[in-house]
Amino acid sequence: MEPMSSDRGKPAAGHVRIKDWPADERPRERLMRLGPQALSDAELLAILIRAGTREQTALDLAHAILAGVQNLRGLAARNARELTRLKGIGNAKAVELLAAVEIGRRIEAFEDPAKSIIRTPADVGHRMIPLLRDRATEVFYLIALDAKNGLKAELELSRGTLNASLVHPREVFKAAIDNVAASIIVVHNHPSGNPEPSREDIEITRQLVEAGRVIGIPLHDHVIVAGNGFVSLAEKGLI
């Protein structure tokens, strides 16, 4: 494997266009020759950005973006409006960056629904943490299961404010009935990073348990995601 020089991926002195660099220094050519794993975060980001400005190369711009968001995880937590506040990032570049981030999330979370069996809260966490850990507001998901706990559907039902999500039992069970669910699990995130259930979380869980008993579609669990961790209300004895 080719060793990386100490200044690899750092902004160049002066403004020399990337296409005028030696071929073995250009991010695209390095990726083709060595594979994406050999590139720095800034080099990968520069490939997505594609073009810089009159004052900066795409690689300079990538370094500036990473300095503004700290790291790729910080980039993943930004929305389009926040990205366009960064110098050199317009609507088109923001959309491309967010699309790449979302593809990465979905790849990490993907499992073939035909082979997905939800046996434990950890199975739920494995699926949902990549989708929810970087969201800046609360998002409420329904997981619809068949009679053998196989995954039938995974649906986003609502998005809330910074510290609140809005969902009503009728929305949850309408989606469950529409997807012919035998049972359900609900999931939402806490952007605060604290996965412990709030009073409102416990109350909506009780409402869903009661509605499920009446309708005949039991609620197996309510999982709260925060960062890379989660809490199961079923494991806490609240279901």
CATH number, domain of 80, equals 1.10.150.20
Share of the chain above pLDDT 70, in %: 85
For 197-234, b where at least 16 C-beta lie within 10 A, e where not — what string? Answer: beeebeebbeebbebbeeeebebbbbbbbbbeebbbbb
| pLDDT value of position 226 | 94
- Other C-beta atoms closer than 10 Å to the C-beta of 177 total 13
Give me the number of domains the chain comprises: 2
| Domain C-terminal end among 47, 76, 107 | 107
User: Could you tell me the pTM of the whole model?
Assistant: 0.58
CATH number, domain of 143, equals 3.40.140.10
Q: Tell me which residue of 222, 217, 220, 219 sits closest to 233, measured CA to CA.
A: 222
My answer on whether 119 and 185 are in the same domain is yes
Tell whether 238 is covered by a domain. no
My answer on whether 74 and 123 are in the same domain is no
Q: Is the confidence at residue 16, as pLDDT, over 70?
A: no
Q: Is the confidence at residue 235, as pLDDT, over 90?
A: yes
Q: Quote the domain boundaries for residue 37.
A: 18-107
| pLDDT value of position 11 | 44
Confidence of residue 182 (pLDDT cuts 50, 70, 90): very high
Tell whether 54 is covered by a domain. yes
Q: Is the confidence at residue 98, as pLDDT, over 80?
A: yes
Tell whether 72 is covered by a domain. yes
My answer on whether 119 and 215 are in the same domain is yes
Tell whether 3 is covered by a domain. no
Mean predicted confidence (pLDDT) in 143-162 = 88
My answer on whether 161 and 103 are in the same domain is no
44 contacts 105 by C-beta, under 8 angstroms? no
DSSP letter, residue 11: P
Across 3-12, 39-48, 66-75, 208-217, least confident range? 3-12
| pLDDT value of position 63 | 85
50 contacts 57 by C-beta, under 8 angstroms? no
- Other C-beta atoms closer than 10 Å to the C-beta of 82 total 15
| Domain C-terminal end among 55, 77, 107 | 107
**In the block, residue with structure tokens 């005949």:** 216
| Domain C-terminal end among 76, 107, 138 | 107
Q: Using alpha carbons only, what angle is made at residue 107 by residues 163 and 30, rounded to the nearest 5 degrees?
A: 115
Tell whether 2 is covered by a domain. no
